[in-house]
Amino acid sequence: MNGKKYRIALAGNPNTGKSTLFNQLTGLRQHTGNWPGKTVAQSKGYFEHKNEEFEIIDLPGTYSLIANSMDEEIARNYIAFEQPDVTVVVLDATSLERNLNIALQVLEITDKAVICLNLIDEAAKKGIEISEAKLQKKLGVPVVKISARNKVGISSLLDAVLSVVKGLLPLSPYKLEYSSEIEERIEALIPDIQSIYGSHLPARWIALRLLEGDERIIDELNVKLLNEKKGGQSYEFASGEY
C-alpha cells in the first residue's frame, strides 16, 4: 500500500443499491455519524484495491442535485466543493431512463465519474439489455455493470475507479449544451467565478446555478471562501476515524 487515500463518493437515486455496494466494499471498516450540523446520517468507510487505499462516502440518495432538500444539498455540496477523486453514480439498470438524469447532473459538476449499472440480475430477469460500450461512448466516462447484492462486477468497477483516480483514462463527460444566449452568459460569468473562488471549483456548474437564481449557492461559496481564508478545511467534514 502506498498510503495515499483516494476519496470516492457514491451518488444516485434512492434505492439503487448504494449502501449495499458500500457495505460490500467496506465490511466492518465503516462508521456512521451525522453530516456536520445536519440530522442526515453519514456513512464513511475504507477499503483497499490493488494496493491503493480508498475512503468512501455513501451520499444520501437523491433524484436530483438542485438542492431542493437537505439530502440534495448534502450530495451536491460534497461533489462540488469537497471534490472527491471520483464520484461513482449508482444507477438502477431496470429503470435506466429515469436514473440517467442524476448521472447527467453529476457529469455537469465533475469529470471524474464512473457510472455503475446496478441490479443487472433484475434487469436480466426482465429481459432488459444494455450496451455498456454504447453508453460509455455517449457519456464519456466508464460504465460498469454490477450486481452489488450478488457481488458481481465489483472488481471491474474498482478497476474503472482506479483508472479514473490515476488519470489513466481520457474522460470526455457528456455536457448538456444550452442555447447560445445561455452559453454566452455562462462564458461571461466563468472568469469572475474563477477569480473570486479559485479555479479548482466547477465554474461552469456554478455559473448555471447563478443563472437559475440559486441564491444559496452564493452563501455556500462565501462560507467556503471564508473557511479557506482562515486556513481551515473548506467544508467542515466529520473526521472521526473508524
Ligand X SMILES: Nc1nc2c(ncn2[C@@H]2O[C@H](COP(=O)(O)OP(=O)(O)OP(=O)(O)O)[C@@H](O)[C@H]2O)c(=O)[nH]1
Which one of ligand X, Mg ion, none is in contact with 99 (Cβ closer than 5 to 8 A by kind)?
none
Site string for ligand X, 143-162 (x = CB under 6 A): ----xxxx------------
Q: Per rule CB under 6 A, is residue 204 in the interface with ligand X?
A: no
Region near ligand X per CB under 6 A, out of 132-140, 141-149, 188-196, 200-208: 141-149
Nearer to ligand X, 75 or 186 (CB): 75
The DSSP 8-state label assigned to residue 82 in this structure reads I
Element (H, E) at 103: helix 96-109
Task: Please give the order of strands across the beta sheet that includes 30-34.
Answer: 30-34, 41-49, 52-58, 5-11, 86-92, 113-118, 143-145
Q: Which of 42, 43, 87, 118 binds ligand X (CB under 6 A)?
A: 118
The DSSP 8-state label assigned to residue 192 in this structure reads H
d(CA 16, CA 42) in angstroms, rounded, equals: 17
Nearer to ligand X, 25 or 201 (CB): 25
Give the pairing type, strands 30-34 and 41-49: antiparallel
Residue 149 burial class via C-beta count within 10 angstroms: exposed 0-12, middle 13-18, buried 19 and up? middle
Phi and psi at residue 58, in whole multiples of 5°? -90, 100
Residues in contact with ligand X, total (CB under 6 A)? 17
Nearer to ligand X, 85 or 92 (CB): 92
Residues between 57 and 86 that touch ligand X (CB under 6 A): 61
Q: Which of 14, 36, 198, 232 binds ligand X (CB under 6 A)?
A: 14
- Binding residues (CB under 6 A) for ligand X: these are 12, 14-20, 61, 118-119, 121-122, 147-150
